[in-house]
Structure 1
């Protein structure tokens, strides 16, 4: 037995039957919903509770991150609008047409994140255009987090269904 086959025998490279994939999926969506536009959500609660310096810090951090997101969109938005769908189509074809399970797993991670990315752009524009202070900022970040969590729940549900289907069909065949 050579080294290559030993490694692949010990480490199951099929994504949906691998515990590490599911841990990654949970951590991925947990951190995505905690870091709202690059702002840790506990900062929002602290700013609402304490006000003062905590509120100013939240406003500054939200302004910095929103400006960063909008700068990236303004400078390379056209390239991103071409490259991201191309990567998603490539992953989709490799995964679902050619039945490469790793590509399926990456697609099921990346596709919902495009919606979170678009949501981030919309939220950043609204924050820049007048919702960047006080209660309006807290509301916008809360709405953004809630929508991100909804996207994450749907993504985990679809991924779990597809993963169960893949695991069951792999054992039947």
Structure 2
């Protein structure tokens, strides 16, 4: 039985960048982030744009709910969230890139871009709130495009850094 565990751990490397689960989590995270635009599923946006009527009313209601929720959170705890996120990301960056902790590097490369997406979400929510629904589809589409752009750059940087780490440590 012990031989099986040893074989399994030789096949499945438990380090971050050579672990398949890390890359699955990265893909799921960005897929989910680009599908849910300010908390609203993108298929609902396309359906409302295509058919209008009740689907558009539902979209406007859902966007209003999520925008108000996001702005409430940002207005009440924004400074504390920013301080905590800055502390956490700085700690991860120092541990990862100064002290060489690979797990901290991996979490930092997940967290920093998602922090940018969160800031972008707050910005878009404020614009939607002040626009009173004018150009809603354009703002949601632009937010989704920017989220996907951040995701593509993030995935590329993470992949290059992960390959560099794996080659530098001689895993491959």
> CA 1:96–1:8 in structure 2 vs 1: closer, same or farther (change >3 Å)?
farther
Report the CA distance between 1:13 and its aligned residue: 2.0
2:124 corresponds to which residue?
123
Moved over 4 A (4+): 4-11
Q: Note the 1:100-139 alignment, pairs <5 A.
A: 100-132=101-133, 136-139=135-138
Distance in 1, Cα, partners of 2:100 & 2:112: 17
Q: Note the 1:17-166 alignment, pairs <5 A.
A: 17-132=18-133, 136-166=135-165
Distance in 2, Cα, partners of 1:131 & 1:19: 45
Is 1:112–1:151's contact at 8 Å kept on the other side of the alignment?
yes
Q: Does 1:167 align with 2:166?
A: yes
Give deviations 1:18-61, integer Å, cap 9, x for gaps. Answer: 11111111110010000000000111100011000000000000
Is 1:66–1:128's contact at 8 Å kept on the other side of the alignment?
yes
Tell me how large the CA RMSD over aligned residues is: 1.8
Report the CA distance between 1:110 and its aligned residue: 0.3
Distance in 2, Cα, partners of 1:10 & 1:66: 46
> Which 5+ residue runs of structure 1 have no aligned equivalent?
none
Distance in 2, Cα, partners of 1:23 & 1:163: 14
Distance in 2, Cα, partners of 1:42 & 1:63: 17
Report the CA distance between 1:160 and its aligned residue: 0.4
Distance in 1, Cα, partners of 2:10 & 2:76: 46
Per the alignment, in what secondary structure is the counterpart of residue 17 of structure 1?
Answer: coil
Aligned residue pair count: 168
Report the CA distance between 1:9 and its aligned residue: 5.2
